Each structure stands twice: as structure tokens, then as C-alpha cells.
Amino acid sequence: MKKDAWGWISDNEKMIIEASDKVWELAELGLVEEKSAKYLAKILKAHGFTIEMGVAGMPTAFIATYGEGNPTIGFMGEYDALPGLSQKPVPYQDPVIEGAPGHGCGHNIHGVTGVMGAIATKVVIEKNGLKGTLKFFGTPAEESSAGKVFMIRAGCFDGVDAVFSHHPDHFNAAGLGSTLAVIGVKFHFQGTTAHAAATPYVGRSALDAVELMNIGVNFMREHIVQEARIHYVIEEGGMQPNIVPDYARSWYFVRAPEREQVDQLYDWVLKIAEGAALMTQTKLKVEFMEGICNVLPSKGLSDLVLANMREIGAPEYTDDEMKFAKDMAKTVSKEVKREQLRASKRPGWEQLVEDDIHIDREIHDPWDEDIVWPGSTDTGDVSWIVPTMEFTTATATLEAASHDWQWTACCGMSIGHKSLIFATKTMAGSAVELITKPDLLKKIKDEHTKRMTGKKYICPIPVDVKPPIEIARKAAGLEE
């Protein structure tokens, strides 16, 4: 039955690539991916899925559903771009529009693999008269606002038995590592303006409060677990030096391996912010932006995905694609490539550097079972609710850095297209197996239950916090 899905994908390869390229061209920022979301929903509707748009208070979040009965298999797709990463599909920096957004994390491919994987699985259900429900979750703003967490809070994932997701990467893998949980928060300090030379003593500097808070947090770093990360930017700090700033704002991310560790660090950071306000006689307002849990892995889903990858076989590359990869390599020093591969912890990474290999074609067994990766993703929260696998395929050259123009280029040309098709087939084949092998699905669900022993999911976003739609629209230049 898997070959029915794979055959449909092969027959519709041109259409699948066109869909990915369309989202790549639209390149919309998180929570305002209006054209991208409608475009993907329209494709799903044309293939027999019912569409529910605007779920969980986000206009660009949607659920597409097909079929009936058990099991219920979920497919996730992201489609938000990153600011300032516009880039043509060429191996040298050349933006389509200077300063415009671009898919520097490959979410054009991410979204389309989920859409087309769901449709290919639907073809199998329809052709073979199978029972089962398919749900595609259109999940906005992974990069900026943790859209999936709002969807979980709204109950969107209730009743789902397993979830598949795919993310572009350097490697073909179905990892067993975890990620850092995170809280994102903005600190607003309000003081009193004054002439900085004539009467500074009547002013109260909000910028002083921001700086004192930063100093306090920086002294805190010695006394936190080494895997934790705390980073910030000063978004506003005054207009000019001869005016005591009456308003200043900083934006913090607080990360740690476990949810409770993040909560403890966040409480400490809050006390430091309150202390800064006391020291400067300013007023403090805390604006909670996002909260994300760490990933709970699934060995059962990892084994399933890897078996399907190997059955399909990794893509082959043309001479033109290898030339593109070699030209891309010229934009990065060998030292930078070495450090990127070292950070990946991929077994044998040293040989990739020495042999000057630019695309990794291997299909890897997991090497990260005991690793907590330093990034964060709202897929982590989904993994607490339902067995989840976000596998990766080699989408970019080994020299290309994610969240950079190089990644945008790879995701808009044929190297990225081959990753797209490979991942779509992998997802559909894995989903078909879960639908037709109830004992396998039970084993995977039992593993998830065991991993949740002693744990309870508590949504990290307070109930009164809504998706920051207005902030996103202003950031995208859609509102003044």
C-alpha cells in the first residue's frame, strides 16, 4: 500500500515542487502568513479535506481533516519565513528584495511535506477502503510566537494518535535528542524624562533600569546549569543622549533542558527586573511572549521513519547540483564548516571536512539519544501530548548555515526539491504503516505513556495571553 502513496508522489512531483516554490516566493512572517496558509488550505480542500481556518485565535492557523474512525494520524506543517533573508536560488548572496523576508529555515518545504504527505496517505485510504482519520495541522509562527502551543491550549491535538513533521536540515535522520524549553518575555520600564544636563536629578532613567537588569542577569550566569541559555536585546533605549529616557524595553529568552528549570530561572530573572525598577525608581511591566517545552523523543517513530527512508533511498544529485554545492562552499571558510559539523556531533564529521564533501547522502541511525540540543521548538509541546516525530532530510549543503541567506537559496532550488520529495515519501510511507499496523501504533503509544511517567503537561503560556497578532502585523509592516 505504501507504493500507492509513493506512486502518487512521483506522478505529482512537479505539482509538489511548484507548491514549495510558491510558499518560498511568498515568504511571509509569523502570524501573518495569510497567503501561504490559504494557498496550502486550498490544495488540501481540492483533494477532499475539510478545512477549519483561524483556529486557536490565529487567522493563519488551520486544520484540514479527511476520513473517519481510528486511528487518527496527524501531519504538521510550518510556513513562516524569517526577516531579512530574501535570497535568489543562487550560490552567492543576492536578495530578491533587499531586506525582505526569506525562508532561511526551509519552512516552505516543511509545510508542503506535511500537506502532500497527508494527501498521499489519503490516496491509500481511499483506494484500499481503509478506516482512519487524517489531520493536517497548519501551524504558524514557529520562529516567533510558538503557534503550536496556542493550538494545544485550544485542544486542537486532542484525540490524535501520532504526529509526523519534517524539518529541512543537513542530515537524513530521525533523531532521539531533546531540546531546550524556553520562555520569551519583554520587560518594559517606565521612568521620567528630564534634560540630561540641566536637571537630570528630576528624571528617572528607564534605560538605567534595563542596563541594571542586564548586569544582574549577567552576574547570575555563573550560578545556573551549564546547559541553560539566557539572551536578550535592548529594543528601545531612548532617543538621544541629552534626554533622560523615560521608556526602555528589553526582550529576553530564558532556556533550560527541563520545563521546571526554565520556570525557576525565569522567577529569578523576574526578581532581578523588579530589583532594577526599585533601584531606578521606575515602573516595570512584564509582557509574556511565548513559552515552549522540551521535546520528548519517540524511538518507535524514529525506527519507523528510518526504515521508510532506507526503503526509498536517499536522493542522487546531478552535476549541476554538485557544482552549486561547491560554489556555495566558497562562501564559507573551512574553519567555519568544521565548527558547524563539530556542533552537529555527527559520527565521522571530521571526514566530511577532510574529504571536502558538500552534501551528506547517508541515512543515519540516531546519534543524539542523550543530547539536549541548544535550540527550542514548539514541536516539543506537541510531543508531550501525542507521540511525535519531526525527522530531517538533507536539504542544504554542509556549508550553508540555517537562518542565513545560504539556507534560503538551497530551499528554493533543486537540492531542496529533492529533499522535499524524499521527505514527503518518507512521511506518507510511515503514516500508512501506522494505519495498517495497529500493534505498531500501540507499541509507540505505550512508549509515550512510559516517557510521560512522573510528568504532566502544563501549558507554558498563561491563559490570559493571546497570540500577538497586532505585534506581528506591525513587525511585518502591515499596520502603522
Q: pLDDT per residue over 99-126, tens digit each?
A: 999 999 999 999 999 999 999 999 999 9
Which is it for strands 62-68 and 72-77: parallel, antiparallel or unpaired?
A: unpaired
pLDDT of residue 362: 97
3-state class (DSSP) for residue 476: coil
Helices vs. strands in the chain: H and E counts, helices first: 16, 12
pTM exceeds 0.85, yes or no? yes
* 475: in domain: no
238: nearest Cα among 224, 229, 248, 227: 248
The CATH number given to whatever domain includes residue 288 is 3.30.70.360
Cα gap 222→230, rounded to integer Å:
12
DSSP-derived pairing of the beta strands 181-190 and 247-256: antiparallel
Indicate if 303 and 419 belong to the same structural domain: yes
Listed residues 293, 308, 323: the one ending a domain = 293
Query: Is residue 442 domain-shared with residue 321, that is, in the same domain?
Result: yes
Residue 15 CB partners (closer than 8 Å, separation 6+): none
Residue 70 in domain: yes
Residue 336 has which C-alpha cell? 567555519
Does one domain contain both 102 and 246? no
What percent of the chain is modeled with pLDDT above 70? 100
Last residue of a domain, one of 261, 293, 325: 293
Residue 132 is which amino acid?
A: G
Whether 126 and 16 map to the same domain: the answer is yes
Q: Assess whether 87 and 169 both reside in one domain.
A: yes
Residues 278-335 pLDDT 10s: 999 999 999 999 999 999 999 999 999 999 999 999 999 999 999 999 999 999 999 9
Contact of 472 with 31, CB cutoff 8 Å: yes
| pLDDT, mean of residues 457-477 | 92
Residue 480 lies in a domain: no
- Is the predicted pLDDT of residue 1 greater than 80, yes or no? yes
Residues 6+ apart with CB under 8 A from 172: 309, 314, 360, 361, 362, 363, 364, 392, 393, 394, 422
Residue 477 lies in a domain: no
Contact, 398 vs 170, CB < 8 A?
Answer: yes
pLDDT digits (tens, 9 = 90+) for 148-171: 999 999 999 999 999 999 999 999
168 inside domain: yes
Same domain, 288 and 306: no
Say if residue 408's pLDDT is above 80.
Answer: yes
Look up residue 42 and give its three cell numbers: 486550498
195 lies in which domain range?
Answer: 181-293
Calpha distance 444→302 (Å, rounded): 10
Phi (first) and psi of residue 216, to 5 degrees: -60, -45
Instruction: Give the tens place of pLDDT for each residue, 26-48.
Output: 999 999 999 999 999 999 999 99
For residue 163, give the CATH number of its domain: 3.40.630.10
Residue-wise pLDDT for 224-264, tens only, equals 999 999 999 999 999 999 999 999 999 999 999 999 999 99
* Whole-angstrom distance, CA of residue 279 vs CA of residue 392: 48
Both 104 and 197 in a single domain? Answer: no
The grid coordinates of residue 286 equal: 512584564
Q: How confident is the model at residue 479 (pLDDT cuts 50, 70, 90)?
A: confident
Residue owning grid cell 520556570: 263
Q: What digits encode the pLDDT tens for the residues 181-198?
A: 999 999 999 999 999 999
Please tell me what DSSP assigns to residue 374: S
Residues of the chain with pLDDT > 90, as a percent, come to 98
In a domain, 106, yes or no: yes
Averaged pLDDT, 460-472: 93
C-alpha cell, 214: 542586564
Residue 460 has pLDDT above 70, yes or no: yes
Mean pLDDT of the chain: 97
pLDDT band of 57, cuts 50, 70, 90: very high
pLDDT at 475: 87
Tens digit of pLDDT for each residue in 431-447? 999 999 999 999 999 99
Q: How many domains does the chain have?
A: 2
Instruction: Quickly state the pLDDT bin for 480 (edges 50, 70, 90).
Output: low
Helix (H) or strand (E) holding 116: helix 107-128
Given a contact cutoff of 8 angstroms between Cβ atoms, the answer to whether 456 and 16 are in contact is: no
With respect to residue 472, please indicate whether it lies within any of the assigned structural domains. Answer: no
User: Side chain identity at 309, as an amino acid letter?
Assistant: M
Is the bond preceding residue 387 a cis peptide, omega within 30 degrees? Answer: no
pLDDT at 112: 98
What are the pLDDT digits (tens) for 127-146? 999 999 999 999 999 998 99
| Domain presence at residue 406 | yes
Reduce the DSSP state of residue 148 to 3 states and report it.
helix
Q: What are the strands of the beta sheet with 162-169, ordered from one edge?
A: 50-53, 62-68, 132-138, 72-77, 162-169, 388-394
Spell out the residues 6+ positions from residue 402 whose beta carbon is closer than 8 angstroms to its own: 104, 105, 106, 396
Query: Cβ(53)–Cβ(41) under 8 Å?
Result: yes
Q: Residue for cell digits 539566557?
A: 230
Domain check: are 152 and 186 in the same one? no
281 with 305, same domain: the answer is: no
Picking from 263, 293, 323, the residue at the C-terminal end of a domain is 293
Q: Say if residue 301 is in the same domain as residue 420.
A: yes
283 forms beta bridges with 190
Strands (E), 374-437: 388-394
Domain co-membership, 447 together with 361 = yes
Q: Are residues 371 and 269 in the same domain?
A: no
* Residue 322, Cβ density class (10 Å: 0-12 exposed, 13-18 middle, ≥19 buried): middle
